[in-house]
Amino acid sequence: MDQFLEFFIENAGIIAALPLWTFLIIIFGQNLGVYDNKKITVWLTCASTFIGFLWALFIFLWTLGAEEPFTKNIAWINAGNIQLSFGWLLDNLAAVMLLVVTSVSLLIQIYSHGYMNKDEGYHRFFSYLNLFNFSMLGLVLSSNLFQIYIFWELVGLSSYLLIGFWYRRPSAAHAATKAFIINRIGDCGLLIGIISFLFFSLNWWAASGDVYLSFTSLQPAAEYVLTSAGPIVYFLIATAIFLGPMAKSAQFPLHTWLPDAMEGPTPISALIHAATMVAAGVFLIARAYPVFEASSCVMTTIAWIGGITAFITATIALTQYDLKKTLAYSTCSQLGFMVMAMGAGAFAAGLFHLVTHAYFKAMLFLCSGTVIHGLNDQQDMRFMGGLRKHMPVVAYTYLIGCLAISGILLSGFWSKEEIFSGLYAGNNVSLLSLGLIVAFMTAFYMFRTYFLTFEGQYKGHTHPHNSPKVMTVPLILLAIPSALLGIMLSGKFFLPSFDKYIIAGKESFIHLEHNENLLLPVISILIALSGVLTAAFFFWDGFKEKRESVKITADNVIKSAKPIYALTTNLWYIDKFYYAFIDKVFLPICNFISRFDKYIIDGLVNLTATKIRFEGWVLRQFQTGQIQTYLAIMFAGLIGLVLIFVLLQLLLI
Amino acid sequence: MELLNDIKNVFLPEFIITLFALLALILSFSLKKEHQNLIFFTSVAGVIFALYSLMLMGVSIEQQGFYESFVSNNFTAAFRVIILIGTGFTLFLSKDYIASFGKSIGEFYFLLLTATLGGMILCGANDLVAVFIGLETLSISSFALCGYTKSDILSNEAALKYLIFGAVASAIMLYGFSFLYGITGETNFTFIASFIQNYNFNSLLMIAFLMILAGFGFKISAVPFQAWTPDVYQGAPIPVAAYLSVVSKTAGFAALIRFVDIIFVESTLFAITLGVIAVITMTVGNLMALDQQNIRRLLAYSSIAHAGYILLGLAIMTNDGITAIIFYLITYLFMNFGVWAGIELFALATGKDNIDDLNGLAYKHRYFAFGLVICILSLAGIPITAGFFSKFYLFKAVISAGYEYTPLLVIALINTVVAIFYYMRVIKAIYVMPDEEVRSADIFRISFPVRLVMLISVVGALILGIFASPFIEKAKTVNISGIETILP
């Protein structure tokens, strides 16, 4: 059995290679016109992901018995005193992420077959999907910071391609550009951070003999950097590295790209912009945890950025009318939760929320996709309502998702409760109260979308049509982990514990003891329930008479709190500020500097080019095409060389 | 018995090539015209068998044969592999090109294999006479190959120019050999080297060195022995031009490196000579290439420039430099054959070979254009292609050789920048320029062997660029067991 598992460990790179091969097969098969059958594409894709899933399952089994992480590295570039390698690192964290990515991917690929079936870019869509899978799995398997950066860029690329999938729509093209540029800010910071980290620890790596920037020995390296660079520089380096996760996981103030990214096809929103890629930022924080952990200032910064993101985006989600945008802001908010947990030292809790969130948020997005598909691309909730009668499966799975994300007994409850108790144990009262407020808002806006979409009277124009099985079956399959995963891994009632599994072998990490009081869970449930009730009061038809009798309707509340409403509907003016900054400050400076480029640099270049062309012209005069000239040149050259060097030799000796 | 042993130990691939060359000759006059294609397969089989025998032969230790006039070791094996692969590529390129001329296919393959035989002898030659025999075998077959398309005036002119120039270069070289023989009284490299070690340096030796350099310089087209290159590359059949630019040059470099490293390693003056020739060669090549309109002439100048870069690796006279040269030649094999295959595909489809004719190619044949561009970028030395790493490694070797080589390095770097200009002109034509004259020729239906060469070259240029380290490590081991004993 051990040898059997060894095989999977030794060849873990195959998991990432399979989607790459599929990508190449589809893209060349299509462009060279080898085949044109959608079945081939979808079966290849699903088969490669399914094999990856099984493979990940075996790796997971192996980690249960393993004591040491497994690494395998191949030397890649030897440039002077820098040696870069790539390979794979398999530990508990990687195994969990592999399982999440492959399982969610598989279900979403099946769903996409239904969703994209009528689209003319069907094959292109699947080739991008495979490219993304390759990059994401490569990112998860990466054994060192440099390699993770390469795959980090690759997921960014596939995200860009998929957001702009319908590139003929200007809004999609703009959203793709925006996502790309904002991610570039973060990636730039990440690269600067990695390079400066490497710069300060170069001697350490050379002495240690380990693979450069390897995750397994990041902790002593971080300590070395801290002592050699000093705390202030170290803070800057760690913050620069954190810029990467900040952009990728859509944290304030770089969160603005994620809601716009919903211009892409809905399966992409579910897979990339909810379940996996945006969680890559949290994954990187977990991977490079020793780097952040070494400085408490960095940890505090991370925690507060997470908290602020959770709060701001939750307030924006309260007033959105676009179904997908609401879900997008909710994703930002939940990612804020994870980042906050990471920063507060509740390492395992943050990852636990990542896992549970991946399933229920993917499911919520797929539900919204089914609704939008059924209503012929209608996304505005004001034109929905009463859809429970038309598409019951979608409504009930959506309800499960809402309960899960709001933290009412289903999986979201258990992971959120762990975050809260982590914050409580770390005495972060201010962050804890912020978290509870956000939890209230989460329950409110999620059930607001539920009531507006599935309850009441249908307010749209087109007739809602039901979706094919290929789209509803993945929903049902995703509903199971969304409901049960939390309690199954909670560590309570003699069930296995996610915490113990993920912390295993990392005793050095801050480990917050859970105090087993019932107060916190009860409070969080009560808060969530009050959020649901508030939403029901405003938006459920059952309370219609009551709210009209006390004259507190949604419109009235909006009227009485106009400035706040304006703030949230205008997305806290963050986007507007960015555009104004670019128009009023950035572009004028650019224009000014470009003059220097135009007149001085270009002038120099043109001058040099003219000179070189002239020299070329002079030389060409000797290339007459006559063999006599050639031989004369040759003899002249030879005699010249002889004269020069014989003279030189006489002088030297 | 001793002869058989010698063949078995050091001469097996050359022997196989000889046999197959003769077989090709016999087949060429005994087969009917319809069956002449068989000769192609025979030649390919010969190259494959030769490669295979090279693997069978133990090359990890140095072995000598034929009264120590021929050696076989890791170093010569590396060059022989490059030569054989290059010959294989040339065979694939020629199959349809030569067939389109209709007559007498067989002799072409015979001449090609003979030239290869000469090149391989040149690699392992350890004796002045053996060097001369190898050089002449290679040269005379190449003269004939250049003029193979008899009805083409340019081809005739190329052959004649190549012949006259080659004859003069050989004569000068032979004169140099006679000087060397006169000084030392020996023709064997090893004996000459041991004699020179105890020899008081004088001008006679310098003159001998420079004259011998003329012969090698002619083969690798170094300035001032380069003048034939553009005319011959333009006139000769395309596969022959590709062969001259890679295989013939590799053979010349193999002999030159062994010659310099064994005999003339002692004095810095030789290093200075080589360094000066190197920078002049690359500068002249790049400057002349700037305004070329014909892509074959452009490639000729580009190949002169590349010879300059490679000579730089020899001029620093370190082990690192030799490693860099071997890696450079491997990458050069792929990227240059890629471009030549592209040119041949285009010429077969349209019959044109000006840069302007490539205008808007990317919108017609995007894969073809993409492959061509990858190879051109690789020649220019743009990252992630093989050309970047070979240049990078070469320049790194120059830096680590010592501060006195910094001026050479600076000139080489400036040259690299200048070179990008004319490579970019080709890419600009392919991707940016409008497609005014519509060329509807369908490249995808033409010549599977040529497309195969192109594919292999592009893949090679990319893989060598992305995974350079393993190959460089391999090149290092070649060098250590090869001639490290002689180098300081």
Q: What is the pLDDT of residues A551-583, one digit of tens each?
A: 777 777 788 788 888 887 888 888 888 889 888
> Given an 8 Å threshold on Cβ–Cβ distance, is A631 in contact with B168?
yes
CB atoms within 10 A of CB B276: 17
Buried b (16+ CB within 10 A) or exposed e, B61-84: ebbbbbeebbbbbbbbbbbbbbbb
* Greatest alpha-carbon span in chain A: 114
- Confidence at A344, pLDDT banded by 50, 70, 90: confident
As a whole number, mean pLDDT of residues A148-163 equals 91
pLDDT in the model for residue B48: 94
pLDDT one-digit tens code per residue, B245-297? 999 999 999 999 988 888 876 667 888 889 999 999 999 999 888 888 899 99
pLDDT cut 90: percent of chain B above it: 47
**Stretch B458-470: mean pLDDT:** 87
Determine the length of chain B.
488
pLDDT category of residue B487 using cuts at 50, 70 and 90: very low
When pLDDT is averaged across residues A396-407 and rounded to a whole number, the result is 89
Distance of residue A306 Cα from the nearest chain B Cα, in angstroms: 38
Contacts of A31 in chain B (CB under 8 A): 367
Q: At what angle do helices B295-315 and B406-431 cross, to 10 degrees?
A: 160
A651 to chain B, any CB pair closer than 8 A? The answer is: no
Q: Write out the residues of chain B at the interface with chain A, using a CB-CB cutoff of 8 A.
A: 160-161, 164-165, 168-169, 172, 201, 203, 206-207, 210-211, 214, 223-225, 227-228, 230-231, 269, 272-273, 277, 284, 287-291, 367, 392, 396, 418, 421, 467-470, 472
A627 lies within 8 A of chain B by CB: yes
Q: Which of A225-229, A515-519, B135-139 has the lowest mean pLDDT?
A: A515-519
> Would you say residue A357 has pLDDT above 70?
yes
Contacts of B291 in chain A (CB under 8 A): 613, 616-617, 620
Write the CA distances from A370 to A275, A363, A400, A477, integer angstroms.
17, 10, 16, 15
- How many other CB atoms are found less than 10 A from the CB of residue B231? 24
pLDDT of residue B103: 67
Tell me the C-alpha distance between A569 and A566, whole Å: 5
| B165/A634 Cβ within 8 A | yes
Chain A residues inside the 8 Å CB shell of B472:
78
pLDDT tens per residue, range B2-39 = 888 888 888 899 999 999 999 999 998 888 877 888 88
When mean pLDDT is compared over A8-12, A426-430, A525-529, the highest value belongs to A525-529
B chain contacts of residue A631, beta-carbon cutoff 8 Å: 164-165, 168
B168 pLDDT higher than 90: yes
Q: Pull the structure tokens for residue A504.
A: 């295993």
CB contact under 8 A, A612 and B418: yes
pLDDT in tens, A294-315: 888 888 899 999 999 999 999 8
A653 contacts in chain B (CB < 8 Å): 201
- What pLDDT was estimated at residue B481? 42
B-chain CB neighbours of A632 within 8 Å are: none
Q: Does B269 sit within 8 Å of A648, measured CB to CB? A: yes
The answer to whether residue A638 neighbours chain B at the CB level (below 8 Å) is yes
Rounded Cα distance, B332 and B379, in Å: 8
User: Nearest CA of chain B to the CA of A623: how many Å?
Assistant: 7
Task: Give the residue, A81 or A25, on which the prediction is more confident.
Answer: A25
Query: Which pLDDT score, from 0 to 100, does residue B482 have?
Result: 45
Which among A649, A650, A653 is the top mutation candidate for probing chain B, defined by the most B β-carbons within 10 Å of its own β-carbon?
A649
Per-residue pLDDT, B484: 43
CA distance A119 to chain B (A): 25
Contact A634 B227 (CB under 8 A): yes
pLDDT tens digits along A166-187: 888 888 888 899 999 999 889 9
Phi/psi at B455 (nearest 5 deg)? -60, -50
Give the global pTM.
0.80
pLDDT for residue A644 is more than 60? yes
Q: What is the mean pLDDT of residues B67-86?
A: 90
Residue-wise pLDDT tens digits, A408-466: 878 888 888 888 888 888 778 888 888 889 999 999 889 888 888 888 777 777 777 77
CB atoms within 10 A of CB B367: 17
**A639: contact with B, CB 8 A cutoff:** no
Contact A634 B224 (CB under 8 A): yes
Nearest CB neighbour to A627, from listed B161, B211, B224: B161
Q: Give exposure, B127-153, as e/b (b: 16+ Cβ within 10 Å).
A: bbebbbbbbbbbbbbbbbbbbbbeeee
Higher pLDDT, B435 or A187: A187
The pLDDT score that the predictor gives to residue A506 is 60
Q: Which chain B residues have a beta carbon less than 8 Å from that of A645?
A: 206, 210, 269, 272-273
Compute the average pLDDT of residues A236-259: 89
Q: Confidence class of residue A51 from pLDDT cuts 50, 70 and 90?
A: very high
Best mutation target, B153, B200, B223, B287, to test chain A (most A CBs within 10 A): B287
Query: Which range has the worst mean pLDDT, A406-410, A435-439, A490-494, A633-637?
Result: A490-494
Residues 48-77 of A with CB under 8 A from B: 75-77
Q: What is the DSSP letter of A515?
A: P
For an interface test with B, give the residue of A614, A623, A652 to mutate (most B CBs within 10 A): A623
Whether the pLDDT of residue A508 is over 70: the answer is no
**In whole numbers, what is the pLDDT of chain A averaged over residues?**
85
Contact state of B469 with A80 under an 8 Å Cβ cutoff: no
Distance CA B78, CA B322 (A): 12
CB A288 within 8 A of CB A145: yes
Determine the distance in angstroms separating the CA of A55 from the nearest CA of chain B, rounded to an integer: 26
Residue B326 pLDDT grade (very low, low, confident, very high; cuts 50, 70, 90): very high
Residue B83 scores a pLDDT above 70: yes
In this prediction, residue A240 carries a pLDDT of: 92
CA distance A642 to chain B (A): 6
The pLDDT of residue B441 is 54
Return the higher-pLDDT residue of B481 and B95: B95
> Residue B116: pLDDT above 90?
yes
Q: Mind telling me how many Å the CA of B354 is from chain A's nearest CA? A: 18
- Chain B residue nearest residue A633, CA to CA: B224
pLDDT of B488 strictly over 70: no
Mean pLDDT of chain B: 87
Q: Is the CA virtual torsion B313, B317, B321, B323 positive or negative?
A: positive
Residue A84 pairs with which residues in a beta bridge? Answer: A77
CB contact under 8 A, A619 and B287: yes
Q: Which residues of B touch A32 (CB under 8 A)?
A: 367
Q: Which residues of A touch B224 (CB under 8 A)?
A: 633-634, 636-638, 640-641
The whole-number pLDDT of residue B75 equals: 87
Residues of A numbered 21-50 whose beta carbons fall under 8 angstroms of chain B's beta carbons: which are they?
Answer: 31-32
DSSP letters spanning A167-232: TTSHHHHHHHHHHHHHHHHHHHHHHHHHHHHHHHHHHHHHHH-SPTTBGGGHHHHHHHHHHHH-HH
The whole-number pLDDT of residue A561 equals 81
Q: Do A616 and B367 touch (CB under 8 A)?
A: no
How far apart (Å, rounded) are the C-alpha atoms in residues B119 and B133? 10
Q: How far is CA A104 from the centre of its chain?
A: 14
Question: Lowest-confidence range among A21-25, A94-98, A599-603, B141-145?
Answer: A599-603
Q: Is A15 exposed, middle or buried (0-12, 13-18, 19+ CB in 10 A)?
A: buried
Instruction: Note the pLDDT of residue A101.
Output: 92
Residue A11 token pair: 């060849």
Residue B201: closest CA among chain A residues belongs to which residue?
Answer: A653
The answer to whether the CB atoms of B287 and A615 lie below 8 A apart is yes
Give the number of A-B residue pairs with CB atoms closer than 8 Å. Answer: 91
